Each structure stands twice: as structure tokens, then as C-alpha cells.
A and B are shown apart, each in its own frame.
Chain A
Amino acid sequence: MSKIVSLREAIAENVHDGDTLALEGFTHLIPFAAGHEVIRQRRRNLSLVRMTPDLIYDQMIGMGCATRLTFSWGGNPGAGSLFRFRDAIENDWPHSLQIEERSHADIASAYVAGAANLPFSVMRGYTGSDLPKYNDRIRFITCPFTDERLAATPSIRPDVTVIHAQKADRQGNVLLWGILGVQKEAALAAKRVVVTVEEIVDDLRAPPNACVLPQWVVSAVSVVPGGAFPSYALDYYDRDNRFYKAWNNIARERDTFLAWMQRHIVQTADFAEFRRTLGNGGREDQHT
């Protein structure tokens, strides 16, 4: 059976209510199209994981998809705040959001541990920080060999990891390059892996040591050109900084946020139609 399916099928098959779901991409290759599809299919009670919950998690949280969030930095990179994320934490809107807050180094290590089938990650971290006071899953252990005190945190093993990549071949082998973030580790730590790609090619022509996910660790691959917009895909398109700035005005108030989500996500069939509703070649420069 082919792994290459529509994004609608990929999400319907692999992402279920109540799942622990990680969408990764560190500023680069953020899987926006897949996040939109999760919203369209009205998934609920998700435990979301992401180092940098940015606009896509603002959208998912504001639309009520999540009851839990594990993260390490929640902002609109270069542009400001995440108003829906903040409204959920500060005012329980649209409902309460339980947060598990960690650091970048920790979450990165926790995916490594998850991919390595270990129950916890060990690191030099958190000493002197208040984070362990508020997150009792950050603990300290003593090294059995040197007696050093080290931080231990639970590994992250999502039910589903979703990433965006530049290319896949027809068998579903996936190639990504540029800023890689934690995508390889997050994918290998997960039970199921959904990948959206810019294009399908006959031959990846990947150099040795390139970041390739072999097809047998991938559950589904969907072709979604531009699927990381408004973030970027190196060698395909640039980050749309105007969209990131415009998001502040869209998301600041609940009613403008909901109206925007209805018009552009809920009432559109897919990512291509979403891009068309933005007009101007899919660039968002309206200031609502």
C-alpha cells in the first residue's frame, strides 16, 4: 500500500482525539498545512508537544484542539506574542490548558531519549532555575559513577509526530535540509510519523550523511507545496515575515481570531484553498 496519500487521509488515519501530537520545525519547515488539517478535522483533547509553539499552535490552541501543552518557548518569533496561547494560560479560553514547561536543551534531549527507546533523559540543566519548582517531572539524580548531580526528565514519545520536508521519493523516503531542528529525533521517537513535502521526485539524489528518514519509519507522506507557509522551506520559498507580523492583529482579540479561522481554515477545503483566500499570491498583508 502506498504511503503517499492526501493530507486529509494522512491526518484522519494517524491523528486521533486524545493523542500526544508533536508538530516540529524550528522556525524552518513548520508543518502549517498539517496543523490546519487537524483543526479542520476538529481533533480534541490533544496533548501537544513542541519546542517553539508559534502561530500554528496558537491556532490549534485557540480553536480548542488541545488540553495539554509541553513546550520551551512560546512566542511569535520576531514579531511579538502568541495571544491565543496566552489567553488559554491566563484566562482559560477557550478552555483550560495544562502546561508542562521545559527548556530547549531539555526537550531536544528528551526527543533523543525517546528515539533511543529510553524512559528518561539526563542532562546538565536547570540548576538555579525556578522551572523545577513548578514542573515536578524535572528531577535530579546522582550519577552512579561520579556522584555528580544531573537533571533527569521524562523522554518524549509522541503518538504522532508531524513534520514538513522538502522532498520524498515515490516509496516515501523523505529528505530534508537546512535548519533541521529536532525533526529527525521527534520522528524516530514517535509511534506514527506523518510528513508533508514540497514535492515527490523519482530520485532523492541525497548525498551520503544527508538527513533522510527511510520510508519504513514513515506512516504517511502527503504532497503539499508551500505547506510550511508562512514559515519557509530552504531553496523553495522564504519566510513570510509580513504574515507573522499581521498575526498579532488577527489573534489579539477572540472575535477577530475566530472570524479569521472560520474564513481561512474551517471553511476552506485544503491548504491550496486557504492560500487562495489570502489573495495576493497567498501573502497575508491585510491588517484586520
Chain B
Amino acid sequence: MTADAYSTSEMMTVAAARRLRDGAACFVGIGLPSTAANLARLTHAPHVSLIYESGAIGAKPSVLPLSIGDGELATSADTVVSTPEIFRYYLQGGRIDVGFLGAAQIDRFANINTTVIGSYRKPKTRLPGAGGAPEIAALAREVLIIMQQSARSFVENVDFVTSAGFLDGGDARERAGLPGNGPAAVITDLCILEPDPATRELTVASIHPGVERAAIDAATGWPVRYVSRLRTTDPPSNRELATLRELLRRTAAAHGTGEES
């Protein structure tokens, strides 16, 4: 791969990382959110405090954790607190600026499903479940979601609302009494979607370079709308790409695999 060529997955991670502002207290999910949040920490946001639900606060891992409780999260952290403390004092206490989540399924109002595909009682596919997501989605001041976009994962209605986005849209989230502001952006391998200010429907706000609208339409399970002042996402800079690739290289070497992402 030449220096300026990049994959759609790299574009997604870089675009997601840019949304995390320096100095934020960010509750990070494992996998793609953790990759993006650490890229942010290693580029424009050195003072971000990454918080993992295993209790690590201010984690600065040199390689990406394979699990939410890898040892380096603890040894590189400012402090490690118990699971009740991280959820009760820090999250429920209102001290988290950003919740960074992934999902198996998302709907047009950014409700996310990590529980089941199909019916709950007789699922077609049983997924891992809620973990910390329902309270992170409810209580963090804002939520960023990073996930691959496809018609199977971007659906009109999720099979199960594990974690609330904007519920039925409009002011439904506020009426339900959810403290946080909800999803601010959904960053995919094709584009960035943001909630419409009034309807709260996820709307395409920025398209990654080289992506056709038709591809986004085909990868969205509802008739997706575009903002009138549509942007094109800046391609990854050399520094962003080099930092991401070096992070993934170190990670693969540490975990003894070449398939981490």
C-alpha cells in the first residue's frame, strides 16, 4: 500500500478519532471504539482520559487491548477502580463527557442493538448482550458510535433496543428523562451520519472521499437523507495513517496475530 492510499476501515477509524476532543473524559468500548479513541490520544488529543468499564481510568496502552480488562489497561492507567465505582461514581455520577460505542445493529434514530437478531425468546442469533452500553448511552454527555455500514446493520427498526438513542425521534429522548444528549455522530466506513436537529433521524452529514451516494443508499435500511450542506470527509493525513498503522502493527506483534483491527 502506498503512503497516500488507505482502506475504508482506516478512513472510518481516523474519522471517528477526530470526533474525540482533547481533554474529554471518554468511556470506551472494546474493539473499533478503542482503536479510534487510542488513535485520538496518540494524535490530536494527548490529554483525553480513556476510561474502560473494567475500572481503568486514564489508560494509555501501548498496544490495543484484546479484551476490556487487559493487564496493560491497569498498569498504564492513572488509577484502577472497582466495577461498581466506575459505573456508580463516574458514569452515573455524571462525570463522563463522551461514550464511545460500537453496535451490531442501529436504527434510523440511533437506537442500538447488541442483544439478539430475531425474537428475544427464540433468537436467530444470540449476541453478547448489554454490557455497559445501556447506561453509557443514557448517561454520557454525548455518544459517538463507530460501526461498519450495511443494509443488515443499518435497519429501519432494530430487533431489540439494548441502548437508547433517540427512541422514536423528535423529543422522545428528553421526554423519557434520559440525562445525556445522546448520539452526536455515527461514523462508518462510508460516511458520517448525524441526528437531524428536529426529527433526530440519522442523516448523512459527510461522505468519505470516493464513496458514491448509491453505495450509502444501498447500505442503509431506510431511505436515508442527506444534509443540504453535505461535506466530504478529509482523507486521513500521513500522520494519522502512520500512527494508526504503527499502533496496529505493535498490537499484532503483541497479541501474536496479524488480524487485529
Contacts and interface: CB of A to CB of B under 8 A. Distances in A.
B128 interface: yes
Q: Which secondary structure dominates chain B's binding surface?
A: loop
A105 B54 contact: no
B216 to A, nearest CB: 27
A253 B132 CA distance: 30
A77 B66 contact: yes
Contact of B75 (A101, A108, A111, A234): A234
A129 B162 contact: yes
B210 interface: no
A109 B88 CA distance: 8
B55 A179 contact: yes
Q: Which secondary structure dominates chain A's binding surface?
A: loop
B255 interface: yes
B32 to A, nearest CB: 13
B197 interface: no
A28 B88 contact: no
B51 to A, nearest CB: 13
Contacts of A128: 111, 138, 161, 163-164, 167, 173, 176, 178
A178 interface: yes
A74 B128 contact: yes
Given A78-B30, A149-B177, A179-B80, A125 B134 contact: yes
A94 interface: no
A78 B259 CA distance: 11
Contacts of B67: 27, 77-78, 239, 244
Contacts of B130: 72-73, 101-104, 129, 131
A104 B82 CA distance: 12
Interface of A: 26-28, 51-52, 71-75, 77-79, 81, 85-86, 89-90, 101-105, 108-109, 111-112, 123-131, 134, 149, 178-182, 184-185, 232, 234, 238-239, 241-242, 244-245
20 contacts: A28-B54, A77-B69, A105-B132, A105-B135, A108-B84, A108-B87, A109-B84, A123-B92, A125-B135, A125-B138, A128-B163, A128-B173, A128-B178, A129-B134, A129-B163, A178-B71, A182-B83, A185-B82, A234-B71, A239-B66
